[in-house]
Amino acid sequence: MDVRTHEIELSGGVTATVEEAGAGPAFFLLHAGVSDRHMWDPQWAWLRERFRVLRWDWRGHGDTPHVPGPFSYADDVLRIMDALGVEQGACMGCSFGGGIALRIALDHPERVERLVLVASNLPGYEGGNPPQVEELLRATDDAIASGESRQALALMERLWLVGPGRDPVDVDPGYLARARELLARTDRPENGAECLDGNWSALERIASLRVPTLIVVGDEDVPEIQRAAAEMHRLIPAARYAVIEGAAHLPNLERTQAFDAVLKAWLG
């Protein structure tokens, strides 16, 4: 099937190139902050046989630039839905992309038919990390703040792609090479851009969520992400929950066969 592309203008004059393939119910793929839209390549190949699948790069990732001024990633998703005439669709988000999908499902439940949260953060939740993980997080933030992009990428690779409990030599080299390529496409300066999605909490409302929800996390992910996944499973009524063994923060890319089996079973 051919891939169709749409140039859609977002707030601030940013243009996002949205890829679309397949037909049927809309299915949006929202990538992680340590990757770009191509992290979904393994699922793109088969989801397009059943759905109208859509993906693009967040601002500051891949082919989409940052521009000065305030913006909202959640607003970007809604603008793209409106521009393409999508009233309701499924949203699958990884990491902070999962947090954005969750926000849309809570603020605009009529727009979200299904929700898949992969290695997702839970805004407002603080599950705690071991001291060594907290040190890696602080070092990453310091490297980003000081403009040491090479060091920042190396730390993000160690923390998110490998996982804090593993050694890089124990990780599949093919996966790690591909994930490293995608991580490198996130090294974009903010240039005065101001994200408005950061200061909010889902904790007070998440139990009211009635959207069919699947929660997936890798057993080698950052401990706080694993705890957040378990907490979401506890709070969201009738949510399904799956742990992918041998996977860090991008389980769909690292353990594709196991991830796809979980997703296909849930989709029916």
Residue-level pLDDT at 164: 95
Residue-level pLDDT at 213: 98
Say how far apart CA 163 and CA 165 lie, in whole Å: 6
Superfamily of domain 4-127+191-267: Alpha/Beta hydrolase fold, catalytic domain (3.40.50.1820)
pLDDT tens string 41-90:
999 999 999 999 999 999 999 999 998 999 999 999 999 999 999 999 99
Residue-level pLDDT at 1: 57
Residue 122 clears pLDDT 90, i.e. is over it = yes
Say how far apart CA 138 and CA 51 lie, in whole Å: 40
For the chain, give the percent of residues with pLDDT over 90.
89
Residue 98 clears pLDDT 60, i.e. is over it = yes
Residue-level pLDDT at 190: 76
Q: Other C-beta atoms within 10 Å of 147: how many?
A: 9
Shortest CA distance to 226 belongs to which of 206, 248, 204?
A: 248
Residue-level pLDDT at 145: 85
Q: Average of pLDDT values for 132-140?
A: 93
Dmax over Cα atoms in the chain, in whole Å? 49
Say how far apart CA 252 and CA 92 lie, in whole Å: 11
**pTM for this entry:** 0.96
Residue spans of the domains in the chain: they are 4-127+191-267, 131-184
The residues facing 90 across adjacent strands are 27
Residue-level pLDDT at 84: 97
Say how far apart CA 72 and CA 193 lie, in whole Å: 10
Task: Judge contact between 117 and 232, C-beta under 8 A.
Answer: yes
pLDDT tens string 10-43:
999 999 999 999 999 999 999 999 999 999 999 9
